[in-house]
């Protein structure tokens, strides 16, 4: 396979980043930022005989976790540490690195995850009440690794750390596009590395029900296309997560988003069948019939089986986006509502939820669902997951309900890390008292599955999810966006050692797009574009379905362009003070983009799948020429004439148009350069 060469643009970017990192050399690369931290001066020098001593009464999983941390440390440094596998029966007593742990932690909401980490020149000590806290401290220690005077070192620090919120999660939708176990596991490893502790597994929707049932084997035979998790796989993932301090709970979305169920059980639907698994994306009519006893008899048997499969105390019933159409058109349902004085569909869904709640309660589960499950009839021991926003979450807390926030953390909407980072589960001025504040448990990042496959799901989650993890863990006042991005670059690189594929899979996808030809021209443009935002990708001339190709340029493009973000900031700096160094850097980039179009045309002719971005490439070349001319005018203190302004404003407007569901991310900077010479 051919490797792409490093472009001049990339060389410029590497130089800039290296300079920035050197300027920040005294700053630590910790993410999340700890609750309290002091740097004491000096270093602990890492030697080849480094070993770990674990004392106290932890669970066996801490020994396994420490073993994995030791191997990661060895792989980073190339040091041949003598210690192999840590176990309770195979411990080394030393005074170099001691972990003191009082007890095993329970994998439940609210368990103690705090730790204290003290690094001095001759000793490292990690103290934690539970092994869960010790795991968090081990990840912090790994992030502290630095290089000084040719040696690997840990800086001398004192850290007292604890999470701001007890619920810090990621939801992965494995229903719309099935995600194999290895995808789930590598993302669990990434979650643990940034101190996330909840995995929300979305396992049913219109496009499939993904869990094996021994009580109703029709589910895996008819409702899943053969793509489902066996019960042994479910148990394996839960064990894997627990060994990393992560809770796992399922979501089965009912009564709406339920088309796939009715392929096997049409008699439970609110309209007659037959049904087939939905291949399109959106909100659909099929809904469970809440007025017949067969529905509750079915869930009574099924959830008796599946609640035993998932040991977590919480069980998600979805409850969102029921459009009520089938209910409105079913005469028997309407008669039931009149007879039972149920005034509307919201009240009917509350009736359904209460019946399901009784089934879950019987099986020792607590209900969690989306905003729509909130109704005065519902008891206050349920948990509301809010996609509507902080106002809805705050209002629920005032009514006595616990909640978690997902609005603002919909990571599939392709918004920048900064947007998510500054979104807070409890915004300042919420008006909540102390007891109400405790009802806001935290939040979850939501990765819906319409536009992701195993090839690119990691790129849609990471590294932006790490910024969200910091928002859930760190003190509220930690809000320095520039420093967040500085540290995020380091975390992104480190995630690769855990198997996260967002960097390396892009190279694979580019090779596929070019039919294994030279990828440099494609990489040059991909580095400065992003997928269109929110849900506009579904309305730009392409009808996506479950079986559509997710192998186009838009799928290989990262959600956030670091180069474009740097370019915008550098353009601002240049416009403000005519900085000559900034001008040179901008011109180097613009010249490279201007010249790239002709090179990309050769690839497009050899690989027709690239044809859709040809206008985008031409527009990038055109606005790059505009940018170069604007910089020359600014440096010479000349204003542009009206003909130039008219011509280049038109070029800019054309460049703002998306092609292939992607858009150029330097147009705002070019617009500022044009305005600067008006």
Residues 454-465 pLDDT 10s: 999 999 999 999
Supply the pLDDT for residue 21. 36
Q: Is residue 415 part of a domain?
A: yes
Whether residue 12 has pLDDT greater than 80: no
Q: What percent of the chain has pLDDT over 90?
A: 92
Q: Is residue 423 part of a domain?
A: yes
Q: What is the DSSP string of 541-559?
A: S---BTTS---SHHHHS-S
Torsion angle (degrees, nearest 10) of CA 65, 70, 73, 74: -140
Mean pLDDT of the chain: 94
Q: Is residue 515 part of a domain?
A: yes
Whether residue 258 has pLDDT greater than 70: yes
Instruction: For residue 93, name the pLDDT band (cuts at 50, 70, 90).
Output: confident
User: How would you label 256-270 residue by residue, b for 16+ Cβ within 10 Å and e otherwise?
Assistant: bbbbbbbbbbeebbb
Supply the pLDDT for residue 18. 39
Q: Indicate if 307 and 179 belong to the same structural domain.
A: yes
User: Lowest-confidence range among 23-27, 196-200, 293-297, 571-575?
Assistant: 23-27
Supply the pLDDT for residue 11. 45
Supply the pLDDT for residue 429. 87
Q: How far is CA 572 from CA 265, 647, 663, 678, in A?
A: 60, 23, 21, 16
Supply the pLDDT for residue 16. 44
Q: Is residue 23 part of a domain?
A: no
Domain termination residue (choose one: 462, 478, 498): 498
Whether residue 671 has pLDDT greater than 80: yes
H/E stretch holding 20 reads helix 8-23
**Average pLDDT estimate for 195-215:** 98
Q: Indicate if 128 and 234 belong to the same structural domain.
A: no
The whole-model pTM stands at 0.94
Instruction: For residue 406, name the pLDDT band (cuts at 50, 70, 90).
Output: very high
Q: Indicate if 209 and 111 belong to the same structural domain.
A: no
Q: Is residue 105 part of a domain?
A: yes
Residues 65-83 pLDDT 10s: 999 999 999 999 999 999 9
Domain termination residue (choose one: 121, 142, 161): 161
**Domain, as residue range, for 655:** 504-676
Supply the pLDDT for residue 95. 80
Q: Is residue 30 part of a domain?
A: no
Supply the pLDDT for residue 428. 86
Supply the pLDDT for residue 3. 30
Whether residue 388 has pLDDT greater than 90: yes
Quick check: is 395 catalytic?
no
Q: How far is CA 490 from CA 69, 144, 189, in A?
A: 17, 11, 17
Supply the pLDDT for residue 446. 98
Question: Which CATH number belongs to the domain containing residue 572 in this structure?
Answer: 1.20.58
Q: Is residue 14 part of a domain?
A: no
Pairwise CA distance, residues 340 & 335, whole Å: 9
Supply the pLDDT for residue 27. 85
Q: Indicate if 427 and 531 belong to the same structural domain.
A: no
**Average pLDDT estimate for 174-198:** 98
User: Lowest-confidence range among 161-165, 511-515, 636-640?
Assistant: 636-640
Whether residue 25 has pLDDT greater than 70: no
Q: Which of 433, 417, 431, 553 has its CA nearest to residue 489?
A: 417
Q: Indicate if 373 and 225 belong to the same structural domain.
A: yes
Q: Indicate if 494 and 528 belong to the same structural domain.
A: no
Supply the pLDDT for residue 502. 95
Q: Indicate if 582 and 656 belong to the same structural domain.
A: yes
Question: Which CATH number belongs to the domain containing residue 68 in this structure?
Answer: 3.30.379.10
Q: Indicate if 153 and 120 belong to the same structural domain.
A: yes
Domain termination residue (choose one: 161, 191, 216): 161
**The one catalytic residue among 111, 125, 305, 321:** 321
Q: Indicate if 448 and 339 belong to the same structural domain.
A: yes
Instruction: For residue 626, name the pLDDT band (cuts at 50, 70, 90).
Output: very high
**Average pLDDT estimate for 20-43:** 79
Q: Indicate if 569 and 542 belong to the same structural domain.
A: yes
Q: How far is CA 489 from CA 31, 417, 446, 464, 475, in A?
A: 11, 11, 22, 10, 21
Q: Indicate if 62 and 172 belong to the same structural domain.
A: no
**Average pLDDT estimate for 83-89:** 92
**Average pLDDT estimate for 530-556:** 94
Domain tally, the chain: 3
Token reading at 439: 């009802």
Q: What percent of the chain has pLDDT over 70?
A: 96
Q: Is residue 141 part of a domain?
A: yes
**Average pLDDT estimate for 221-231:** 98
Q: What is the DSSP letter of 659?
A: B
Tell which wins on pLDDT, 524 or 13.
524
Supply the pLDDT for residue 317. 98
Instruction: For residue 6, name the pLDDT band (cuts at 50, 70, 90).
Output: very low
Q: Indicate if 448 and 562 belong to the same structural domain.
A: no
**Average pLDDT estimate for 306-324:** 97
Residues 643-669 pLDDT 10s: 999 999 999 999 999 999 999 999 999
Pairwise CA distance, residues 375 & 354, whole Å: 10
Question: Which CATH number belongs to the domain containing residue 485 in this structure?
Answer: 3.20.20.80
């Amino acid at each position: 396979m051919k490797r792409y060469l490093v472009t001049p643009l990339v060389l410029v970017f590497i130089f800039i980043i290296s300079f920035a990192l050197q300027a920040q050399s005294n700053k630590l690369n910790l993410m999340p930022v700890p609750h309290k931290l002091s740097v004491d001066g000096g270093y602990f020098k890492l030697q080849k005989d480094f070993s770990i001593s674990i004392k106290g009464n932890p669970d066996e999983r801490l020994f396994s976790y420490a073993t994995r941390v030791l191997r990661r440390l060895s792989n980073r440094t190339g040091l041949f540490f003598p210690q192999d596998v840590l176990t309770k029966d195979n411990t080394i007593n030393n005074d170099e690195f001691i972990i003191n742990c009082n007890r095993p932690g329970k994998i439940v909401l609210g368990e103690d995850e705090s730790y204290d980490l003290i690094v001095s020149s001759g000793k490292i000590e990690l103290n934690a009440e539970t092994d869960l806290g010790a795991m968090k401290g081990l990840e912090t220690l790994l992030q502290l690794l630095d290089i000084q005077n040719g040696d690997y070192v840990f800086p001398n620090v004192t850290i007292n750390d604890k999470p701001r919120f007890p619920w810090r999660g990621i939801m992965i939708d494995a229903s719309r596009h099935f995600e194999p176990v290895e995808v789930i596991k590598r993302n669990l490893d990434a979650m643990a590395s940034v101190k996330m502790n909840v995995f929300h597994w979305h396992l049913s929707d219109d496009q499939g029900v993904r869990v094996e049932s021994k009580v109703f084997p029709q589910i895996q035979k008819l409702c899943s296309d053969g793509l489902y998790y066996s019960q042994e796989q479910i148990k394996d993932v839960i064990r894997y997560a627990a060994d990393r301090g992560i809770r796992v709970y399922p979501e089965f979305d009912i009564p709406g988003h339920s088309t796939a169920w009715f392929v096997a059980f049409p008699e439970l639907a609110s309209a007659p069948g037959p049904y087939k698994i939905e291949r399109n994306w959106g909100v659909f009519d099929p809904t469970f019939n809440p007025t017949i006893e067969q529905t509750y008899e079915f869930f009574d048997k099924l959830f008796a089986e599946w609640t035993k499969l998932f040991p977590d105390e919480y069980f998600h019933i979805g409850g969102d986006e029921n459009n009520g159409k089938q209910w409105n058109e079913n005469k028997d349902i309407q008669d039931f509502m009149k007879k039972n004085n149920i005034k509307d569909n919201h009240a009917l869904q509350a009736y359904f939820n209460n019946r399901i709640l009784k089934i879950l309660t019987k099986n020792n589960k607590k209900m969690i669902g989306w905003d729509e499950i909130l109704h005065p009839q519902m008891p206050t021991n349920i948990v509301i997951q809010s996609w509507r926003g902080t106002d809805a979450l705050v209002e629920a807390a005032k009514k006595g309900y616990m909640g978690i926030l997902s609005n603002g953390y919909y990571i599939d909407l392709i918004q920048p890390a900064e947007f998510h980072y500054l979104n807070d589960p409890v915004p300042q001025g919420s008006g909540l008292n102390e007891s109400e504040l405790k009802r806001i448990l935290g939040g979850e990042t939501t990765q819906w599955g319409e536009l992701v496959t195993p090839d690119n799901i990691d790129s849609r989650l990471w590294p932006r999810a790490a910024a969200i993890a910091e928002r859930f863990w760190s003190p509220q006042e930690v809000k320095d966006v520039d420093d967040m991005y500085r540290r995020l670059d380091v975390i992104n690189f480190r995630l690769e050692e855990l198997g996260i594929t967002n960097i390396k899979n892009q190279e694979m996808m580019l090779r596929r797009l070019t039919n294994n030809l030279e990828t440099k021209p494609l990489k040059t443009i991909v580095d400065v574009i992003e997928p269109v935002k929110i849900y506009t990708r579904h309305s730009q001339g392409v009808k996506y379905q479950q079986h559509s190709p997710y192998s186009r340029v838009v799928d290989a493009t990262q959600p956030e362009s670091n180069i474009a973000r740097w370019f915008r900031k550098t353009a601002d700096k240049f416009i403000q003070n005519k900085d000559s160094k900034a001008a040179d850097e901008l011109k180097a980039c613009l010249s490279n983009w201007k010249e790239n179009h002709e090179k990309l045309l050769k690839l497009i002719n050899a690989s027709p799948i690239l044809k859709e971005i040809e206008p985008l490439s031409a527009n990038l070349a055109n606005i790059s020429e505009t940018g170069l001319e604007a910089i020359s005018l600014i440096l010479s203190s000349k204003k542009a004439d009206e003909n130039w302004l008219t011509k280049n404003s038109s070029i800019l407007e054309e460049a703002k148009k998306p092609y292939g569901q992607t858009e150029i991310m330097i147009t705002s900077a070019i617009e500022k350069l044009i305005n600067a010479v008006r």
